[in-house]
Amino acid sequence: MMPSSAELYPVNNFIGDLVRSIFQQPAAAVINGLLALLSLMALVGSLGAVLIFLERKVSAHFQLRFGPMRVGPHGLLQPLADGIKSIFKEIIKPAGADTFIFFLAPLLPVSAAFLVLAVIPFDHHLQVADPAGGVLYVLGISGLSILGILLAGWASNNKYSLLGAMRSGAQMVSFEISIALLMLLIVMLSGTASLRGIVLAQEGTIFDWWIFKLPFLGIVAFIMYLVASTAELNRTPFDIAEAESELTGGFATEYSGISFAMFFLGEFVNMFVAACLVTTFFLGGFHAPLFGLPVIDPLLNLIPGFLWFFAKAFLIVFLYMWFRWTFPRVRVDQLMYLEWKIMLPASLILLMLSGLFVAQGWVG
């Protein structure tokens, strides 16, 4: 007999209860909300540093180098040094650039990542908000990062930037269709569009996760989602938006100092957000990977859910990095071919087949 989720993960919000015991009701609600936002900000800030360090180390080891080694042990303090450097660097605005948009654009991708992190269920009770249409919210907010890139490209008053932004916009808009269809698939299977509900629908052993629970199709959907989200993130092999050999730096060519760092931070935190979504949709979110074995399962359940969540998310992040340092970049036409002639029909067929599976009761 499996213990119910309420027994496994009792409701204990220590900090929230403490705040409520000290302050009166209206003030306590405001303070708890502020604390949640503050912790999200801390998460975004620290994630940026961790992910940039990881990317440099992973790329170095893929290429038989050491990567940053000088600042701190094994170069651990390198992100800090980079951050301080970029803060003190001068921001050069090109002549004829639109000042307002030039400085607004770098903020949008980071805010998109921040806003999506607010609905990610890190653990049973570690979620800032759980809207009933969480999937829709995620889809809508990801439009903000497209907006940021388009605006940055235009505001820079530079042909390379504009070309990079247009490519990037077209790419993100087209791959969002596949992503939306695959999200719809998961919503159809789980019977709910709230991210927490999707995780709860995968409760049980490792074979109850959607990647395995949906026979054969689950793994196909997982791989397709990985490909589509890599394209959505503008990462190699789909980084034609900032193809160095053709477009210098793409939309970020004219950016320097902290504005450039914001783009970089947004890109990396968005990668983590995409990994979180993959974890939520396919890998059981905060559930421990149980195998239905008598002794090991309770031990695995002892480890808190958010550690499982972060472990899975960082595994996906490692996959993204692996892609980046293994595959060569595709051409623009190949990219569009992939989306409109392969991914889109494939995801439609997948959706119909899964509908058949659900209707026939072959799931699980």
Partner 1 sequence: MNDFLFYVIASAVALLSLLAVTLPNLLHGAIALVGSFFATAAIYIMLQMEFLALAQIALYVGGIVVFMLIIILLTNDLGVDNSLSRVSAGRQVGKGVIIAGFITALCLFFTSNPSLLLRTTEHRAAPVSIDEIGIRLLSTSNGFIVPFEVISLLLLAALVGAVVLSRRENKTEEKEKP
- The residues of the shown chain that bind partner 1, judged by CB under 8 A, are 26, 98, 100-101, 104, 131-133, 136-137, 139-144, 146-147, 150-151, 153-154, 162, 165-166, 169-170, 173, 176, 193
Taking the complex as a whole, the smallest distance from the CB of residue 137 to partner 1 amounts, in Å, to 5
Taking the complex as a whole, the smallest distance from the CB of residue 364 to partner 1 amounts, in Å, to 21
Kindly give, in sequence order, each residue whose CB lies less than 8 Å from that of residue 29, ignoring residues fewer than 6 positions away. Answer: none
Q: How many CB atoms lie within 10 A of CB 89?
A: 14
Taking the complex as a whole, the smallest distance from the CB of residue 100 to partner 1 amounts, in Å, to 7
Residue type for 237, please?
Answer: P
- Provide the residue count of the chain: 364
Residue 136 or 300: which CB sits closer to partner 1?
136
Strand, helix or coil at 291?
A: coil
Residue 43 or 139: which CB sits closer to partner 1?
139
Residue 155 or 262: which CB sits closer to partner 1?
155
Note whether 144 and 117 are within 8 A (CB): no
Which residues of 15-60 form beta strands (DSSP E)? none
Q: How far is 217 from 227, CA to CA, in rounded Å?
A: 15
Q: How far is 179 from 156, CA to CA, in rounded Å?
A: 30
Nearest to 230 by CA among 178, 302, 281, 303: 178
Residue 75 or 250: which CB sits closer to partner 1?
250
Q: How far is 315 from 171, CA to CA, in rounded Å?
A: 25
Residue 79 or 148: which CB sits closer to partner 1?
148
Residue 146 or 316: which CB sits closer to partner 1?
146
Residue 174 or 230: which CB sits closer to partner 1?
174
Taking the complex as a whole, the smallest distance from the CB of residue 141 to partner 1 amounts, in Å, to 7
Q: How far is 87 from 143, CA to CA, in rounded Å?
A: 27
Could you give the angle at which helices 25-62 and 107-117 cross, rounded to 10 degrees? 110
Residue 30 or 299: which CB sits closer to partner 1?
30
Note whether 121 and 280 are within 8 A (CB): yes
Taking the complex as a whole, the smallest distance from the CB of residue 306 to partner 1 amounts, in Å, to 26
Taking the complex as a whole, the smallest distance from the CB of residue 300 to partner 1 amounts, in Å, to 33
Taking the complex as a whole, the smallest distance from the CB of residue 191 to partner 1 amounts, in Å, to 8
Taking the complex as a whole, the smallest distance from the CB of residue 305 to partner 1 amounts, in Å, to 26
Q: How far is 243 from 260, CA to CA, in rounded Å?
A: 16
Taking the complex as a whole, the smallest distance from the CB of residue 102 to partner 1 amounts, in Å, to 11
Nearest to 118 by CA among 269, 13, 304: 269
40-47 long-range Cβ contacts below 8 angstroms, 24+ apart: 40/114, 40/117, 40/118, 40/128, 41/114, 43/117, 44/110, 44/113, 44/114, 44/117, 44/265, 44/269, 47/268, 47/269, 47/272
Residue 47 or 247: which CB sits closer to partner 1?
247
Residue 120 or 317: which CB sits closer to partner 1?
120
Q: How far is 189 from 133, CA to CA, in rounded Å?
A: 15
Backbone angles phi, psi at 126, to 5 degrees: -115, 75
Taking the complex as a whole, the smallest distance from the CB of residue 260 to partner 1 amounts, in Å, to 21
